[in-house]
Amino acid sequence: MNTLMKKLLLLVCVWTPLAQAHAVDHRIEVSTAAIITLNYANERPFAHKQYTLTPAGQNKPMQVGETDAQGRIAFVPGELRHWRLKASSADGHGVNREIIVPAPLQSETALPATAASTSDSPSPPMQAIVPTRLSPPCDQPVWLRASIGLALMFGLFGLYQIFLRHRPR
Amino acid sequence: MHIPDGFLSPQTYLPAAALAVGAWAWAGRHLRSRLDETLIPRLALLTALAYGLGLVMLPLPGGTSGHALGVALLTLLFGLRLAFLAYSGVLLLQALLFGAGGLTALPVNALAMGLAGSATAILTFKLLRPLNESIAVLATAWVSVMVSGVLVALALGIQPLIAHQPDGTPLFFPFGLAITLPAVLLPHALIGIGEAALTLLVWRYAKSRKWIA
């Protein structure tokens, strides 16, 4: 093998792995993810809308994307519990608030221990996925909240009516 | 159409709050002389209707949903000041109980839907009433919804311009005016038609009961 061939072989050996560096590889890993479900008040999913997930107190988002057809966002929070979720549609619907990922999802190492039913650990079974629903400020059923609103409204108007009736003329 | 918390920058909601406080004070002046015992039950009923209308989400093309306002109805029956005050109360309850609209965004929502919607209703009705009263009522409700929609879309659409990180990433609401204006106005052009029909229905009932001159 002459010198030129040796150099060419060396070049090919060095260059080829570098060329492969542009490829996008993938890996599938079964792990613990948090799933956030977003929906309109009438239960319709907040589907295919932009969102960003940023660790609380930081500026750079950890995850940016679009909710799926069911209005869901799946992400791996790792050890971080406090996140800021921004999700919006162009017509002004959406959320921009801090969320707290439930504690069981913090420790990915806990999952295999839970999966192993023979474990002697006294800890309760851990869910692999805990849905975190972004609820309105009041968690009561819609009919109850609507009724509370009506009661407050009629109550205030009623009080004003009583005030008018008893005011000195 | 309610803007939730976290979508508006302080540069937007703080001046709006100052403006809204002034507007609420103005609307509340001489309330006792304008709100007598016969008016209160009707105002309570129609305010409750506006509250209910805001809670009925209508599915719209494109996967979104919207709702009627009832501002024009309140305005035609009770005038600008009472309508503005009543609708502000509706917005407050919807924000507190349903998360429909936020507390920081309340002044913007109240100014856009309550005050501007009501003022537009008054102007449109005065302009068109000499031509045909029914058409004037229909147009009043539709234009009122659309003007409120324009203001809400403007408030949202300017956010990327006035509140962003040094690299241009929006801090609050990510969509500009070119997106928010059609996104808000096209669905509400449809909603406005339904609201116009409902407003005319209630208007005629109110006239038949001699609630309005």
Q: What is the pLDDT of residues B68-113, one digit of tens each?
A: 889 999 999 999 999 999 999 999 998 888 878 889 999 999 999 9
Strand partners, A95: A87
- A17 with A61, same domain: the answer is no
B41 touches chain A (CB under 8 A): yes
pTM value?
0.80
Instruction: Find the CB nearest A157 among B40, B95, B152.
Output: B40
Q: Which residues of A touch B151 (CB under 8 A)?
A: none
* Domain carrying residue A7: 3-25+136-165
Query: What pLDDT is attached to residue B102?
Result: 84
DSSP state of B6: T
Let me know whether A91 and A78 are in one domain.
yes
- ipTM entry: 0.84
A17 & A57 share domain: no
Give the CATH number of the domain where residue A60 resides: 2.60.40.10
Q: Tens of pLDDT along A8-64?
A: 888 777 776 666 566 677 888 777 788 999 987 777 888 899 999 999 988 889 999
Tally A–B CB contacts below 8 A.
Answer: 119
Q: Could you tell me which chain A residue has the CA closest to the CA of B7?
A: A96
Cβ separation of A164 and B36 shorter than 8 Å?
Answer: yes
Asked if A125 and A110 sit in the same domain, the reply is yes
Residue of B nearest to A40 (CA): B65
A40–B57: do the CB atoms touch at under 8 Å? yes
Query: A155 and A105, same structural domain?
Result: no
Residue type, B44: A
Q: Does A161 lie in the same domain as A89?
A: no
CA-CA-CA-CA dihedral for A90, A96, A99, A105, to nearest 10: 30
Nearest residue to B114 (alpha-carbon basis) of B72, B156, B155: B72
Helices (H), A59-167: 110-115, 142-166
pLDDT the model gives residue A6: 82
Q: Locate tokens 């940023």: which residue?
A: A54
Considering only residues A65 and A132, tell me which one the structure prediction assigns the higher pLDDT.
A65
Residues A130 and A140 occupy one common structural domain: no
Candidate from A22-31, A101-110, A155-164, B196-205 with smallest mean pLDDT? A101-110
